[in-house]
Structure 1
Amino acid sequence: MTAAPHHSRRPGGPDDLYRTPPPWDIGRPQGAFRALAESGAIQGRVLDAGCGTGEHVLMCAALGLDATGIDLASAALQRAEEKARERERTARFLRRDAREVAELAESFDTVLDCGLFHIFDAQDRAAYVAGLGTVLRPGGRYFLLCFSDRQPAGNWPWVHRVSQADITSAFADGWHIDSIEPATIDITTDPDGIRAWFAAMTRI
C-alpha cells in the first residue's frame, strides 16, 4: 500500500491530517456504512465520532435523520459545513474530543465510528468507550470500521492495528457484540484499500 508521505509519520495535531486531502477522505461514504444506511440499521439521533469532512453525517442527514458529527480537526469541520451548505443538508458539526464525548450531555440512538477507534492507545480507548456508554441509549447501536491486524503497518505506523480480541476486550462491560466481520476501508491511494474490521455493538 502506498500513502501520501505525510501520513507515514505521526501527525503533530488533528489539523495536520487535513493540510492536504488525506487518503481516507474519499468524497463519499465508506461502503460498509452505505450498506448500513440502505438496510435501515442507522436510526434515530446519530452521532459520528471523528466525522472528518462529514460524509457519513451528511449521508444520515439525507435520510432525514438528526445527525451530529464531532472531530478535533477544525479544517475538516469547516469543509463538512461547506458540504452541508452545498448539498442543502441540515447537520450539526462540533469541535469536540471524542474521548470526552460524555460532556455533550446528550443521548443518541446510533453512533458511527470510521477510523477513530484505531488511533487510540489502551488508556484513550477506555476513556472513549466509557464516554460512548453515557451518550448511547440502552438498546442503541455502535458501528465501528477500523484498521485490522491483518493489515501490514506499512506507511501507517501511528495507527494501531486492531485485533478482534482488542474489540471484544474494549466492549466487554455493558455491551453486546453483535458481529465482527472482515471489511475494507477505501482510500484514494490504493485501489485495494485497507484491511479492516467492521463491528456492530448494542448498548445493554
Structure 2
Amino acid sequence: MAERSGGLAGDPFDGRRPTSHERMTGRPWDASYHDGPAPWDIGRPQPAVVRLASEGGFAGAVLDAGCGTGENALHVASLGLPVLGVDVAGTALATAREKARERGIAAEFATADAFRLGLLGRRFDTVLDCGLFHTCDGDERQEYAASLASATEPGATLYVLCFSDDGPDAGPHPVGRDDLRAAFTPDRGWNVAAVVPDRVQTRFHDDAGAPAWLATIRRVQGSGPE
C-alpha cells in the first residue's frame, strides 16, 4: 500500500496516517462533527441495519467499524449483544457514549484506527461497516480487509453498507460490486457471499436515501491474518 505519511492539524489520534478522504478534504474525520451533525449522521440507525438485526443477522461479539455517534451500535446492543463501536473521531465517540448513558444501553466505544484493528487485541463474530468502506481508495481497501481479518474469528460475518455506483443520485464515494469482490478475497481471509442493492439514508438525500450495496462477507480460513 502507498504510505499515508504525515498528519493533519487537529487530529487527536497521535501518529495515525491520514486516509485518502482526509487528504482530499484537508480535514481530519473529527472535524466533520464540529459544526452540527455530519452528513451521514441521521440521528437513528440505518433502516438496513434495523432489518438485518430483526432477521437475526448479528450474533456473538459485534464490532461496528467507523461507528460515528453510535446509532447503529446502540441499536444492536439494545438487543442484548456485546458491541464495541470504534472510530477515530473523538467528538463522535463522546456523543455515542453520552447516548449510551442516557438510554441505559451497555455498548462500548473506543478510539481505533480501522487499518490497525488487530491492536484491539480482540476477535469478533460479526462486524458492521456502515459507510466506511466507500471512503477508502483502492490501496486502502486491501489494507482495511486485512485489518478486519486480524480482528475477526474464522466464520465471522461482515456486513458492508456502502454507496452504490448503480442508479441516479449516488453518494459522493460510489463503488461497484467488483470493488467489493476485489477487496475481500480468499487470500485476505474473506469470501463474498452476496452483494445486493439497498438504500442508505443521509442528510443530503431525500427520504428514499441513496443507492447502496449491502454486502454479506464471510471470514474464512486462508492465507489472510488468523
TM-score (norm 2): 0.81
Give the Cα–Cα distance (whole angstroms) in 1 for the partners of residues 169 and 152 of structure 2: 32
Does residue 1:134 correspond to 2:147, yes or no? Answer: no
RMSD (Å), alpha carbons = 1.6
Aligned positions of 1:162-181 closer than 5 A: 162-173=175-186, 174-181=189-196
1:23 to 28, 34, 39: 39
| Secondary structure of the structure 2 residue equivalent to 1:41 | coil
Q: Is the 8 A contact 1:11 1:17 kept in 2?
A: no
Q: What pairs up with 1:93-104 in 2 under 5 angstroms?
A: 93-104=109-120
**SS at 2:162 equivalent:** strand
Q: Which runs of 5+ in 2 are unaligned?
A: 1-23, 221-226
1:6 aligned partner: none
1:75 paired residue number: 91
What is the one-letter code of the residue matched to 2:143?
A
Q: What is the letter of the counterpart of residue 16 of structure 1?
A: A
- Structure 2 residue 134 is the aligned partner of structure 1 residue 118: yes
Q: Offset at 1:89?
A: 0.7
Residues 1:114 and 1:154: Cα distance change in structure 2 (over 3 Å): closer
What's the secondary structure of 1:150's corresponding residue?
coil
Distance of 1:175 and 1:74 partners within structure 2: 30
Q: Deviations over 1:45-75 (max 9, x none)?
A: 0000000000111112111111000001111
Length, aligned pairs only: 193
Greater relative contact order: 1 or 2 (C-alpha under 8 angstroms, separation 6 or more)? Answer: 1
Paired position in structure 2 for 1:10: 25
The answer to whether the 8 A contact 2:149-2:219 is kept is yes
The offset of 1:134, in angstroms, is 1.4
Q: Contact between 1:70 and 1:94, CA under 8 Å: does it hold in 2?
A: yes
Structure 2 letter corresponding to 1:25:
D
Give the Cα–Cα distance (whole angstroms) in 1 for the partners of residues 167 and 88 of structure 2: 26
- Is the CA contact 2:89–2:111 (under 8 Å) kept in the aligned structure 1? yes
CA distance in 2, matches of 1:66, 1:141: 15
Match of 1:43? 59
Amino acid at match of 2:31: D
Q: Distance in 2 between matches of 1:67 and 1:76?
A: 16
